[in-house]
Amino acid sequence: MDVGGSVQMVDHERQDGAGQDRMSPNYMGSNSMGMRAMMQAARMALLGVLATFGLASGVGAQQTDPQSDTITVGYLGLERDEEWEPLSVLDPVIDDEGVQGARLAIDDNNAAGQFLGQEFVFVEVTMSRDSDIEEGLQELLDQGAEWIISGLPRDDLEALMEIPALGDRVVFNVAAPDNALRGEACHPNLFHTTPSRRMLADALAQFLGYKQWDRWALVYGNTDEDRLLAEALGEAAQRFGQEVVGEKMWPHDPMSRRAEGGFHAIQREIPVFVQDFADHDVLVIADENDYFGEYFPYQTWLPRPVAGTQGLKATAWHRAHESWGGVQLQRRFEEKADRWMTPRDFAAWLAVRSLGESSARTDSVARDEVLNYMLSDEFELAGYLGLPVSFRTWNHQLRQPILITGPRMVASVSPQEGYLHPRTPLDSLGADEGESQCRF
């Protein structure tokens, strides 16, 4: 079985400096010719300046021309599960995850839109977890939503895509990492700005390969999500030349986070649980719901680093990210939301900004023109990650760099140096065109 795909390993450094230089906060790259295109590029560059200095929100909030072309974006999400609580008292309880990123992007879009005769209107519906998805969608449609941002998990998202009232409206998935949604369960009107599990697993595997931590012990939780992530991690290890020397499911229910004397139980249970693993370089955890994984660092039988969903992790965004103008986005978000930006917030921001970039470049709010540009080779969005982000035509996944982080610092960013691809190094993360099971 060829698990390498189109990825090539080389020993010399990748010559992509020019691509990263283009990715400053104010980079807008023009692919058009003529005076109109240059004027449009200049207007778009102004947005970059406004955003960099934190002025985009103020400009976007000003009264727009009543004759402006309008794009109405709707956000559909679920209320936080009341049974879930943050692992640590240091973690905030977030009730508006995702929607705050979309709100910021609406402000950014309107900062440019006022010069282009375009206005972005934002409507939102947050449903209880037992609500009917069709009713939530209809509430958005009644408010004029033409483009939908989905903060829903996979099952609810698939149900949304089957509702007749959705019509030909495009849905941006900002929450569900399931590989199947980019594969056999893909949909021509579904776009993904949150990374797939495979993208995250590939990003981590590349970094562990760079460190030559090639022997993994794998522990996963007893949920479907954890099993899917463990599968993705195992496949990534094989794809990039690592070996999973052993794997175990953590058999216990979510640990009591307030139990008296719990530390002593943890110190006894975890070392015994992992002591029969063969010798390994790193312990990899698959615990998407944050039930148990945070207890594993410093409790292992052998002195080994912990990676995966806890410890060293692959993520689309992190509160410590400051490079490539990221600090400006962080500050603007914190000013608006009074908290730090999460990966879901970032995915929602990318979705709405993709609409803003495409409508600005085409000088149109027409659905077909915006979509055609978004899927063209000309589309590039400055995502504060070192390389421009763009959509894959074969499954509508946003190709993007992935941060490799510890709890309070960014350690690296994938794709790693030396992992090449005929199209772009970003396509070394996730399902490539030739192996994709998506058929539109």
> What is the CB neighbour count within 10 angstroms for residue 63?
7
pTM above 0.75, yes or no: yes
Name residues whose C-beta falls within 8 Å of residue 322's C-beta, 6 or more positions apart in sequence: 330, 410
| Helix-helix angle 343-362:99-116, to 10 degrees | 20
- Fold held by 23-195+317-400: Rossmann fold (3.40.50)
pLDDT under 50: residue ranges of the chain: 1-4, 6, 8-37, 51-54, 56-64, 260
CATH match for 198-315 among 3.40.50.2300, 3.40.50.800, 3.40.1160.10, 3.20.20.60 = 3.40.50.2300
Q: What is the DSSP string of 72-84?
A: EEEEEEEPPPTT-
Domain 23-195+317-400 and domain 198-315 have a common topology:
yes
> So where are the chain's domains?
23-195+317-400, 198-315
Each residue's pLDDT tens digit, 16-49 = 444 444 433 333 334 444 444 455 555 555 555 5
Among 107, 173, 112, 119, CA closest to 333: 107
Look at residue 135 in the predicted model and tell me its pLDDT: 98
What pLDDT, in 10s, does the model give residues 421-433?
A: 999 999 999 999 9
The pLDDT score that the predictor gives to residue 32 is 41
How far is C-alpha 119 from the chain's CA centre? 26
